[in-house]
Amino acid sequence: MSDPSLPLQAEIIGRLKAYSTLTAIVGSRIHDQVPSGPQTFPYVALGECQVLPDKAQCVDGTETFLQIDAWSRAVGFPEVKRIAAAIVAALDDNETLNVAAYNVVVFELSSIQYLRDPDGITRHAALTFRALIDLA
């Protein structure tokens, strides 16, 4: 099994940073690794990733699940839901993702969960995307 998660991650970060609807809300605060120290809200960060082998006859592929997290401290859920909508618009059903040495067969939204963090102030959207990817 070949692991496409690193080039997929790079492509996703690039796509999100280039999507003006999203950057109008979060600016340049789209992170692979959230910087240490106090954060300026809102922002987007890559979350967990799971890569599963998807082997079939003559195919060396993977099924990859990638989480993207949106964070807001605006009152209520409207801002974090706008961020989530922009992420979905930028990425969902996007088989044109350019992942070096791989073919993206499917890239689709799997779920969105909206959460209140225990601090009572922060709102969080956890978006999970599913990708079917095989070697080019």
Q: What is the pLDDT of residue 1?
A: 66
Q: What is the pLDDT of residue 57?
A: 67
pLDDT tens digit at each of 136 positions of the chain = 689 999 999 999 999 999 999 999 999 999 999 999 999 999 999 999 999 998 776 678 999 999 999 999 999 999 999 999 999 999 999 888 999 999 999 999 999 999 999 999 999 999 999 999 998 8
Q: What is the pLDDT of residue 2?
A: 83
Asked whether 7 and 102 are in contact (CB, 8 A), the reply is yes
